[in-house]
Amino acid sequence: MKYSRLPHTTIKVSKICLGSMTWGNQNTEAEAHEQLDYAFNQGVNFIDTAELYPVPATAETQGRTSKIIGSWLKKTGYRERLVLASKIAGPGDYTAHIRSTGFCPKSIKSAVNAELERLQTDYIDVYQLHWPERQTNTFGVRDYTHNANDPWTDNFNEVLHTLDEMIRAGKIRHVGLSNEKAWGAMRYLEESKNHNLPRMKTIQNAYSLLNRVFEGDMAEVSLREGLGLLAYSPMAFGVLSGKYIEGKATPKSRLKLFPRFARYSSAQATVATQHYLELAKAYNMSLAQLSLAFVTQQPFVTSNIIGATNMQQLKENIGSINVELSAEILEKINAIHAIIPNPAP
C-alpha cells in the first residue's frame, strides 16, 4: 500500500480509501465485514461512510452502513489503527427523511452524536459536509445558474463555529467538504483564516476518466491551498470496469439494480469508455486498473475512494495501487479526453 498525509495534519492515510455506500443494501453485514478484513490486511487504513448511506437513500435503511462499520470496529478492536471519515447530509427532498434543517448548529451536533453511536466510537477523524446548502451545480449539473431567490443565507462562519465546538469536545478531529465548488471552498478557507476557525482539510468530489471537471478551478484551489481531494466514483458507478459495454454486468450490478443512476451512461460517456477500454487492452491491463491508477496518480489526490460489491472487484481495485501509468499512456488518455472531454460531469 502507498500512503499520503492528510493535508495540514500528521495523519497518514492509505492512497486507497475503502468506500462503503453499498453496505446494508447491495451487500450484507457479513460481506461488508469480509471486505473490511481484506482491505485492512492489504494496508488500507482509511474508511469513508456517511449518515445517508447506504445508497439509494431511504428512511428504512438510513444509517445502516455506519452501524455495520461500528459492529466490525467493536469485533476487531481496530479503531485506533484506522482513519474514519463520515458526512452530514445536506438539505433537500432526497434527505427529508433525515432532517430538513440543513447545517444549523442543532443539526450538526445531533448528526455527529448519532453517527458516533452508530459507529461505536468516541470520535470521527474527518467529518465532512456532504453537499452545499446553497443552490449550485452539483451531482452532474454541468453549468451554474444563479438563483437570486435562493433562500440560503451565508452561514459559513456559523457552520465552522459549530464544527469547532465538536472538535473541542473531542468528537471530531478534522473537517472537510464534499461536492463543493471553488467559491464555497475558498469561502470556508478564508473564514477559517480570518476568524481562527477550523480549516477544511479535504474535499470529496467526483473524479474519474469520465469526469475530470475537478481539474479546472478546483485543482488550483486544491494544490495552492492544500485541500486534498478524496476522489469518489473513480469507477463511474462501475461503468469504467467495461462490464456494461461488454455485456458482462450481473443482475446485482448497481446500474442493473438502480437504472436511474445514469450520470455516467450517456452516449458520449459510452463512446469514451470504449476508447479507454481499447487503450487498457493495448497495454495488457484491465480498464479498472487503468481508471483507478489514473486517479491515484494525480498530484491533488490525497486518497482514491474505491467500492465493490464482491471480493473479486475489491481485490482488483485495491491491487490497482501497484499499477503505475507511463507518460505514454497518460498522453493517450489525454488524447481521448481532448476529443470527448468530461462526458459525465
Give the start-end residues of each E strand in the chain: 3-5, 12-14, 16-19, 46-48, 83-88, 124-129, 172-178, 200-204, 228-231, 301-306
Could you confirm whether 53 is annotated as catalytic? Answer: yes
Question: Residue 175: pLDDT above 90?
Answer: yes
Q: Answer left, alpha or beta for residue 211, where phi above 0 means left and psi between -120 and 50 means alpha.
A: beta
pLDDT at 256: 61
Region 129-134: mean pLDDT is 97
Domain assignment present for residue 160? The answer is yes
Cross-strand bridge partners of residue 88: 129
Region 222-239: mean pLDDT is 97
- Which of 103-107, 142-146, 315-319 has the least mean pLDDT? 142-146
Active-site choice (53, 127, 207, 244): 53
What whole-number distance in Å separates Cα of residue 247 and Cα of residue 122?
A: 45
What whole-number distance in Å separates Cα of residue 242 and Cα of residue 239?
A: 6
pLDDT at 99: 96
Domain assignment present for residue 313? The answer is no
Closest CA to 38 of 316, 296, 293, 311: 311
pLDDT at 342: 97
Place 257 in a pLDDT band, splitting at 50, 70 and 90. Answer: low
Domain count, the chain: 1
What whole-number distance in Å separates Cα of residue 266 and Cα of residue 342?
A: 11
> Parallel, antiparallel, or unpaired for β 200-204 and 301-306?
unpaired
Question: Residue 263: pLDDT above 70?
Answer: yes
Domain assignment present for residue 296? The answer is no
Region 246-275: mean pLDDT is 81
Question: Residue 247: pLDDT above 90?
Answer: no
Domain assignment present for residue 262? The answer is no
DSSP state for residue 178 in the 8-state scheme = E
Question: Residue 252: pLDDT above 70?
Answer: no
Question: Residue 152: pLDDT above 70?
Answer: yes
CATH of the domain at 116: 3.20.20.100
Tens of pLDDT, residue by residue over 5-22, are 999 999 999 999 999 999
pTM score of the predicted model? 0.96
Domain assignment present for residue 182? The answer is yes
Tens of pLDDT, residue by residue over 33-86, are 999 999 999 999 999 999 999 999 999 999 999 999 999 999 999 999 999 999
* Residue 190, C-alpha cell as written in the block: 478564508
Tens of pLDDT, residue by residue over 82-116, are 999 999 999 999 999 999 999 999 999 999 999 99
Domain assignment present for residue 22? The answer is yes
Which residue range forms the structural domain that includes residue 61?
Answer: 3-204
* Residue 91, C-alpha cell as written in the block: 438539505
At residue 197, the 3 state secondary structure works out as: coil
Question: Residue 255: pLDDT above 80?
Answer: no
Domain assignment present for residue 213? The answer is no
Compute, in degrees rounded to 10, the torsion defined by CA atoms 101, 107, 112, 118.
-60
